[in-house]
């Protein structure tokens, strides 16, 4: 086969991959779920993105979140808020899931998810109490991230009383039962001093696996807006869900939810999307190899 025909074949592979990807990368609208006076939304508030410490750009995350059946995500890169602000703009420009700006504040004594902030909180020299105060000053909510015993910043009950939420479910509970027990114990302790603390389920997504939304949060919102999401967290109207369907949170909300759970992952064309990616990569690889041979 001549080099020209081989190059043409590589280009055709890329075009076919693009066509298949475009034709199959559609997510059907999910029916809205009501529970009493509230809308029930699915959220993931611990998501990392590129540029930064995540693999996917905000544009790609928006599509992946839609396929995962999420209504809202927060982009929370370590100690920087730029990518979260970028994601916020991306979300405003499309009709997919809500995308909230955020940050994962890291300190040797604690990790904290800040959602709804615009300016980076430099937590390196801040106590957990001071970090919470800075998040609240920006109108955001402060969530204890994977609060296992190795973090001592939340040992003080007065600090826990200031939190808006705590991760009661996290993707790592599926590989570490001790970690699951630690999160459950922290959330039980937190509720004793802070009865309205929100139960948060998070994927801590950087790159697959774990998949975005494997653990997630159900939010009972009065309005399907960013303000409505933040209000639900502040008021503790949330439930944390793991990948096996187990719920953690206020028993009265579990009863209110009943069997009316939002739809989960809707990725009926996953095989075709993988074929699309494979064809595109094969075509690109073919062009690269031909280019090297020509030199």
Question: In this structure, what DSSP letter does residue 293 have?
Answer: H
What is the pLDDT, as a whole number, of residue 281? 52
**15 and 77 both lie in a single domain:** no
What is the CATH classification number for the domain harbouring 147? 3.20.20.140
Residue from 12, 62, 102 nearest 212 by CA: 62
**156 and 88 both lie in a single domain:** yes
**156 and 284 both lie in a single domain:** no
Number of domains in the chain: 2
Domain hosting 174: range is 30-268
**90 and 222 both lie in a single domain:** yes
**172 and 231 both lie in a single domain:** yes
Average pLDDT, whole number, for the chain? 88
Question: In what helix (H) or strand (E) does residue 62 lie, and over which residues does it extend?
Answer: helix 58-67
**215 and 279 both lie in a single domain:** no
What residues contact residue 224 under an 8 Å CB cut-off, 6+ apart?
32, 39, 41, 71, 98
Residue 25 pLDDT class (50, 70, 90 cuts): low
**259 and 283 both lie in a single domain:** no
The 10s digit of each residue's pLDDT in 247-261 is: 999 999 999 999 888
Q: How many residues does the chain have?
A: 295
- Mean pLDDT lowest for which of 60-69, 92-101, 176-185, 282-291? 282-291
Q: Name which residue leads in pLDDT, 44 or 283.
A: 44
**218 and 256 both lie in a single domain:** yes
**92 and 175 both lie in a single domain:** yes
**39 and 114 both lie in a single domain:** yes
Would the pTM of this model clear 0.75, i.e. be above it? yes
**113 and 205 both lie in a single domain:** yes
The 10s digit of each residue's pLDDT in 60-83 is: 999 999 999 999 999 999 999 999
**17 and 105 both lie in a single domain:** no
Instruction: Report the percent of the chain where pLDDT is more than 70.
Output: 81
Q: Kindly report the CA angle at 68 between 33 and 249, in degrees rounded to 5?
A: 55
């Amino acid at each position: 086969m001549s080099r020209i025909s081989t190059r043409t074949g590589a280009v055709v592979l890329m075009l076919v991959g693009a066509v298949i990807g475009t034709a199959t990368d559609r997510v059907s609208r999910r029916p809205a779920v009501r529970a009493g006076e509230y809308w029930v939304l699915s959220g993931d508030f611990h998501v990392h993105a590129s540029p930064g410490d995540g693999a996917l750009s905000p544009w790609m995350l928006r599509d992946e979140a839609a396929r995962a059946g999420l209504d809202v995500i927060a982009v929370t890169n370590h100690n920087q808020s730029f990518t979260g602000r970028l994601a916020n703009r991306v979300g405003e420009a499309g009709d997919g899931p809500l995308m909230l700006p955020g940050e994962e504040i890291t300190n040797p004594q604690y990790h904290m998810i800040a959602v709804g902030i615009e300016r980076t909180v430099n937590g390196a020299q801040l106590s957990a109490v001071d970090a919470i105060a800075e998040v609240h000053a920006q109108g955001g909510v402060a969530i204890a991230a994977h609060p296992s015993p190795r973090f001592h910043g939340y040992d003080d009950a007065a600090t826990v009383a200031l939190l808006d939420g705590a991760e009661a479910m996290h993707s790592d509970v599926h590989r570490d039962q001790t970690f699951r027990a630690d999160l459950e114990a922290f959330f039980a302790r937190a509720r004793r001093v802070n009865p309205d603390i929100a139960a948060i389920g998070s994927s801590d997504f950087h790159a697959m696996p774990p998949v975005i939304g494997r653990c997630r949060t159900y939010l009972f919102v009065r309005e399907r807006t960013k303000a409505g999401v933040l209000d639900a967290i502040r008021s503790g109207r949330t439930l944390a869900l793991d990948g096996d369907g187990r719920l953690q949170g206020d028993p009265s909300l579990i009863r209110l939810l009943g069997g009316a759970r939002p739809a989960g992952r809707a990725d009926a064309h996953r095989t075709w999307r993988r074929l699309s990616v494979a064809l595109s990569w094969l075509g690109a690889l073919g062009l690269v190899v031909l280019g090297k041979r020509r030199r």
